[in-house]
C-alpha cells in the first residue's frame, strides 16, 4: 500500500488550531481538533436561557484563556437545539446547541457548537468532525497550520464589536405601554434582542459587598446585558438606587445613576455646565429673602423667570414681567420653603426652544417647540407646535458637550436660540420619543438600541481593578 500524496488544494488542520468565533465576541481560542467527536464543544459557565419560546436564546460566560481565569467574556446566541451529548469520559449531559461562524485561517464557516463546562480540560474548545468538510484534511502530527492568534486581544478589547449578539435588555419604567417604551421594544426585537419592562418601583434589593442583586416578584432578577432607565421625576430617588444596584452587578446602564441625578438637579446641572463654559441664561440662586434684590440684579432685573427646582414639563416655571411681581413671586416661593432659580428671560427665543436628542455623542434628531399663544413655555403641549429645525454648528456643539459633561449616553438637551448664541436650559435624562420621532420622521429608538449594541461590554476582567 502506498501513502496517498497530500492534496495541496486541501485546507489543512493540525491537531490543535487557533480559531475565532466572531459572532460570540471571541477573537482567539485555542481548539483541539477531535475527529472522534461529532459536534464541536465550547467551554461555557453560567449558562442561562432567555428569550421567547419561538426565539430561544442562551447567555453564557466563557473564559477563553485557560491560564487567566480573570478574562471573562459574556456571550449570547440563538439556541438551535437542546440535546443529550455523551462526552469522551462517558458522561451524558443535556446541552444547548448553538450555531456560530468559526474563522480558521482565512476560512469562515457556520458550525454547530454544544455548550459545556470545560474548566478542567486543557482546551476550551473541541472542533468536532461535523465542522470538518471534505475539502479539509487533519494532520495529526502538526500544530497551528492556520496561523497563530493570541489571548492578548482580550486585554485590549472592552466594548462589544459584535453587532449580532442577541442582548437581554431591560427597561426600568412605570409605564411599559407608553410610546417611547413601545418603540424601543420594537427596535430591539427587530434587531434580534430580547427586551422587557421592569417596574422600577417593584424592584427591591439587598445591599452587600459580595453579591449585589435586584429582586423582583419574590426572586432575584436574571442577568441583563443592558438596562435602559426611564425614571420619572417622582421616582428619581428610588430609581437612582435601583440603577446603581444594576451598575454594581456589572450591567451596562444607558445613563448611569450619577448622571441622572446631575441632570435632575437643575441647580447642579447649571453649575456643572457653567463650569465648562457652556452658554445658559443668567441664573441666580439664593436662600435668604434679604437677597431678593441681589439675585434680580444678577439676572438683569425684569422680566425674569422663576423656576422651582423640582419643576418638570414647564409646571413650576413662571414669568414675572415686572420687578415688583418678580419680588412678590420670590417671596411667595420662599414662604413655601421651595427651592427655586431665578433666570434672565431670553425674549428673543420668542416662546420657542430647541430639543436636541443626543445619543452616544451625536445629535440624532432635533426639533423646535413653540408655545401656545399667550404662553412662553414651549414644552407645555396645550396648543404648542413642533417642527424640525436645522441646528447651527454652535447649537449642535453645545448639545453634544452638555451630554458629555453630564456623561449621559441618551439625553434631550433643550436650548434657547438667543442673540448671543445657544443657551442651554435643561438636559433631560429620560427624553420622550414621540415628539421627536413624529417631528423628524427618524428612527430614534433604533439609534438608542444601536448605542447599547456599541457600548455593552463583552469582555470583563474579573477580580481586578481597571
- CA atoms of 305 and 295, how far apart (whole Å): 12
Of 143 and 312, the one with the shorter C-beta distance to ligand ADP is 312
Give the one residue of 378, 429, 440, 458 binding ligand ADP; rule: CB under 6 A.
378
**Smallest distance, Å, CB 319 to ligand ADP?**
8
Number of residues that bind ligand ADP (CB under 6 A): 23
Min CB(81)–ligand ADP separation in Å: 53
Q: Which is nearer to ligand ADP, 22 or 314 (CB)?
A: 314
**What whole-number distance in Å separates Cα of residue 154 and Cα of residue 102?**
17
Closest alpha carbon to 227 in 188, 245, 254: 254
Comparing CB distances to ligand ADP, the nearer of 65 and 426 is 426
What's the full length of the chain, in residues?
A: 466
User: Do 211 and 162 meet the contact criterion of CB atoms below 8 Å apart?
Assistant: no
Q: Residue 395, interface with ligand ADP (CB under 6 A)? A: no
Quick one: 28 or 268, whose CB is closer to ligand ADP? 268
- Residue 421 interacts with ligand ADP (CB under 6 A): yes or no: no
Q: Which C-beta is closer to ligand ADP: that of 306 or that of 452?
A: 306
The set of residues, in sequence order, having a beta carbon less than 8 Å from that of 233 and lying 6+ positions away, is 264, 310, 312
**Subset of residues 305 to 364 that bind ligand ADP, contact rule: CB under 6 A:** 305, 307, 311-314, 316-317, 343-346, 349, 353
Q: Report the alpha-carbon distance of residue 57 to residue 164 in Å, rounded.
A: 12
Q: Is 56 in the site for ligand ADP (CB under 6 A)?
A: no
CB of 271 to ligand ADP, least distance (A): 15
**200 contacts ligand ADP (rule: CB under 6 A):** no
Minimum distance between the CB of residue 312 and ligand ADP, rounded to whole angstroms? 5
Longest dimension (CA), the chain: 111
Site for ligand ADP, residues 422 to 451, rule: CB under 6 A: 425-426
Which residue's CB is nearer to ligand ADP, number 353 or number 437? Answer: 353
Only one of the segments 203-211, 247-255, 375-383, 397-405 lies at the binding site for ligand ADP (rule: CB under 6 A); that segment is: 375-383
Query: For residue 357, what are the contacts with CB-CB under 8 A and spacing of at least 6?
Result: 363, 364, 365, 366, 411, 412, 431, 436, 444
224 versus 345: smaller Cβ distance to ligand ADP: 345
Q: Which residues of 75-107 are buried (b: 16+ CB within 10 A; e: fewer)?
A: bbbbbbeeeebebeeeeeeebbbbebebbbeee
Region 268-307 residues binding ligand ADP, contact defined as CB under 6 A: 281, 305, 307
Provide the β-strand partners of residue 386.
369
Which residue in this structure is represented by grid cell 426652544?
Answer: 353
Closer Cβ to ligand ADP, 104 or 317, answer by number = 317
Q: Return the sign of the alpha-carbon dihedral for residues 385, 391, 392, 393.
A: positive
Least CB distance to ligand ADP at residue 276 (A): 19
Let me know: does 177 contact 49? Beta carbons within 8 Å. Answer: no
Which chain residues interact with ligand ADP by CB under 6 A?
A: 281, 305, 307, 311-314, 316-317, 343-346, 349, 353, 376-379, 414, 416, 425-426
Amino acid at each position: 500500500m502506498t501513502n496517498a500524496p497530500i492534496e495541496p488544494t486541501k485546507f489543512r488542520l493540525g491537531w490543535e488550531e487557533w480559531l475565532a468565533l466572531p459572532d460570540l465576541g471571541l477573537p482567539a481560542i485555542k481548539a483541539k481538533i477531535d475527529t472522534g467527536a461529532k459536534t464541536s464543544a465550547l467551554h461555557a459557565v453560567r449558562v442561562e436561557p432567555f428569550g421567547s419560546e419561538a426565539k430561544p436564546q442562551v447567555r453564557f460566560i466563557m473564559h477563553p484563556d485557560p491560564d487567566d481565569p480573570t478574562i471573562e467574556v459574556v456571550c449570547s446566541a440563538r439556541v438551535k437545539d437542546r440535546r443529550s451529548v455523551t462526552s469522551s469520559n462517558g458522561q451524558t449531559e443535556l446541552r444547548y446547541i448553538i450555531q456560530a461562524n468559526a474563522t480558521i485561517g482565512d476560512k469562515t464557516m457556520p458550525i454547530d457548537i454544544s455548550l459545556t463546562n470545560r474548566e478542567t480540560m486543557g482546551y476550551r474548545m473541541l472542533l468536532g468532525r461535523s465542522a470538518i468538510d471534505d475539502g479539509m484534511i487533519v494532520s495529526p502530527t502538526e500544530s497551528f497550520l492556520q496561523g497563530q492568534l493570541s489571548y492578548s486581544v482580550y486585554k485590549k478589547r472592552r466594548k462589544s464589536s459584535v453587532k449580532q449578539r442577541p442582548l437581554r435588555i431591560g427597561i426600568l419604567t412605570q409605564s411599559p405601554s407608553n410610546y417611547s417604551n413601545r418603540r424601543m421594544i420594537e427596535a430591539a426585537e427587530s434587531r434580534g434582542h430580547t427586551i422587557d419592562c421592569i417596574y422600577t418601583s417593584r424592584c427591591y434589593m439587598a445591599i452587600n459587598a459580595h453579591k449585589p442583586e435586584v429582586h423582583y416578584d419574590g426572586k432575584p432578577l436574571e442577568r441583563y446585558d443592558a438596562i435602559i432607565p426611564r425614571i420619572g421625576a417622582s421616582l428619581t430617588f428610588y430609581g437612582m438606587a435601583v440603577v446603581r444596584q444594576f451598575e454594581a452587578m456589572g450591567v451596562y446602564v444607558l445613563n448611569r445613576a450619577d448622571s441622572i441625578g446631575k441632570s435632575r438637579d437643575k441647580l447642579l446641572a447649571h453649575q456643572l455646565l457653567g463650569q465648562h463654559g457652556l452658554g445658559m441664561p443668567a441664573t441666580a440662586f439664593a436662600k435668604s429673602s434679604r437677597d431678593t434684590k441681589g439675585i434680580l440684579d444678577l439676572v438683569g432685573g425684569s422680566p425674569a423667570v422663576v423656576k422651582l427646582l423640582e419643576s418638570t414639563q414647564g409646571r413650576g416655571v413662571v414669568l414675572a414681567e415686572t420687578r415688583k411681581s418678580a419680588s412678590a413671586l420670590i417671596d411667595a416661593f420662599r414662604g413655601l420653603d421651595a427651592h427655586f432659580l431665578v433666570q434672565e428671560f431670553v425674549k428673543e427665543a420668542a416662546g420657542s426652544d430647541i430639543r436636541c436628542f443626543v445619543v452616544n455623542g451625536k445629535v440624532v434628531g432635533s426639533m423646535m417647540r413653540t408655545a401656545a399663544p399667550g404662553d412662553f413655555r414651549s414644552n407645555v403641549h396645550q396648543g404648542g407646535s413642533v417642527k424640525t429645525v436645522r441646528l447651527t454648528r454652535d447649537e449642535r456643539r453645545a448639545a453634544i458637550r452638555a451630554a458629555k459633561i453630564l456623561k449621559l449616553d441618551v439625553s434631550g438637551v433643550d436650548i434657547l436660540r438667543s442673540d448671543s448664541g445657544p443657551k442651554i436650559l435643561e438636559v433631560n435624562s429620560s427624553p420622550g420619543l414621540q415628539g421627536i420621532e413624529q417631528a423628524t420622521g427618524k428612527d430614534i429608538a433604533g439609534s438608542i438600541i444601536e448605542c447599547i449594541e456599541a457600548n455593552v461590554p463583552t469582555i470583563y476582567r474579573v477580580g481586578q481593578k481597571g
